């Protein structure tokens, strides 16, 4: 690729920081003792995450916006390998940009103060202070189209099924497999759902193939049923929600899907961690508090607080929380929920029919 003057800063890779002498655990001891402001909320988030692990809750990670271009995938991959994330609900954008890393395509640090007209001339796109050469996008599009042409399941599929196929295809072709959430999730049978698959470049590529009479049909109704079935079959459930948006609601709605639509009472999710910069008083779902969610039967009304909102930039708070959890060397057996989707659906269907 032609080296632009805008691409002179360090390339971004989703690798874990190598600073063995830095004690994140000691840092959070301070936060726990002070309990003040969002430092205190960070400490609460770590404690709740540990509760979910200790009680073997089914843990969902939700990803809003475009977080993978920051390199956050290194943490997520390690959490998956350690059995600390059981399924994922994400925007399509996060998965599209994840493919860049799997294919070893450049994603660079940039500067938000740049003249975007100059970027346009250089064929570079910007996500705030992250720069991506247009060729990174085009090569990703080429890969998605090429492999998706060969995907003919013979029936409508959930987004989890398609993302598993994409992860398997990347596994067979890439050299940077440890950089990709799609690849790591496929290897460890972690299903990945996208509530709005058309709202991303992956969806745009699939739309083109559909116009060309490709047989692949994705049915998001299956996503709704599969996630509800996972929640139904879990003794305890909880989420680590990075941002808000559709992924947050898609996870939370699994409980009203059961109680309101199917008349199956689970009482709500047991644990809830959200990192957000959205305030509740604007009325948007991204800023909606756990207490509001109780009225919808999305969260259990516990005496002991098992929910927390950390008002902070995700790129600051998430690496801190994940570093703490990984530093404590937590590890669980993999639930491998992808391979159990049909079983969970049958269990839910039997319960509803009764």
Q: Return the active site residues.
A: 298
131 DSSP 8-state letter: E
Question: Which two tokens mark 188?
Answer: 């460890």
Q: How far apart are CA 335 and CA 60, in angstroms?
A: 12
- DSSP labels for 239-290? EEEES-HHHHHHHHTHHHIIIIIS-----SBSEEEEEES--GGG--GGG--H
DSSP letters along 40-84, please?
Answer: HHHHHHHHHHHHHHHTT-EEEEEE-SS-GGGTTHHHHHHHHHTT-
> SS3 for 116?
helix
Helix pair 134-148, 92-102: axis angle to 10 deg: 100
**Cα–Cα distance, 89 to 160 (Å, whole number):** 9
Q: Which of 198, 192, 139 is nearest to 168 (CA)?
A: 192
């Amino acid at each position: 690729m032609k080296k632009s003057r805008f691409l002179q800063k360090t390339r971004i890779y989703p690798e874990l920081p190598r600073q063995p002498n830095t004690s994140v655990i000691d840092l959070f001891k301070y936060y726990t003792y002070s309990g003040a402001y969002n430092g205190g909320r960070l400490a609460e988030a770590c404690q709740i995450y540990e509760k979910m692990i200790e009680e073997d809750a089914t843990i969902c990670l939700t990803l809003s916006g475009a977080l993978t271009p920051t390199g956050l995938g290194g943490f997520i991959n390690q959490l998956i390998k350690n059995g600390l994330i059981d399924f994922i609900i994400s925007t399509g954008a996060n998965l599209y940009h994840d493919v860049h890393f799997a294919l070893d395509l450049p994603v660079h640090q940039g500067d938000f103060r740049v003249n975007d007209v100059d970027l346009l001339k250089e064929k570079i796109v910007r996500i705030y202070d992250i720069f991506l050469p247009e060729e990174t996008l085009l090569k990703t599009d080429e890969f998605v189209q090429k492999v998706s042409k060969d995907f003919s399941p013979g029936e409508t599929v959930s987004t989890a099924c398609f993302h598993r196929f994409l992860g398997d295809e990347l596994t067979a072709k890439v050299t940077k497999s440890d950089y990709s959430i799609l690849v790591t999730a496929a290897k460890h049978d972690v299903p990945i759902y996208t509530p709005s698959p058309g709202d991303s470049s992956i969806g745009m590529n699939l739309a083109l193939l559909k116009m060309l009479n490709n047989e692949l049909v994705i049915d998001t109704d299956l996503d709704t049923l599969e996630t509800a079935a996972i929640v139904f079959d879990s003794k305890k459930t909880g989420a680590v929600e990075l941002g808000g948006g559709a992924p947050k609601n898609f996870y939370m709605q699994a409980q009203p899907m059961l109680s309101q639509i199917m008349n199956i009472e689970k009482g709500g999710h047991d644990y809830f961690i959200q990192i957000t910069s959205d305030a509740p008083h604007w009325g948007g779902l991204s800023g909606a508090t756990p207490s509001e969610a109780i009225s919808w039967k999305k969260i259990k009304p516990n005496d002991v607080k098992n929910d927390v909102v950390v008002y902070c930039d995700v790129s600051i708070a998430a690496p801190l929380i994940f570093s703490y959890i990984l530093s404590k060397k937590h590890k669980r057996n993999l639930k491998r929920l992808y391979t159990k989707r049909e079983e969970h659906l049958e269990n839910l269907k039997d319960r509803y029919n009764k």
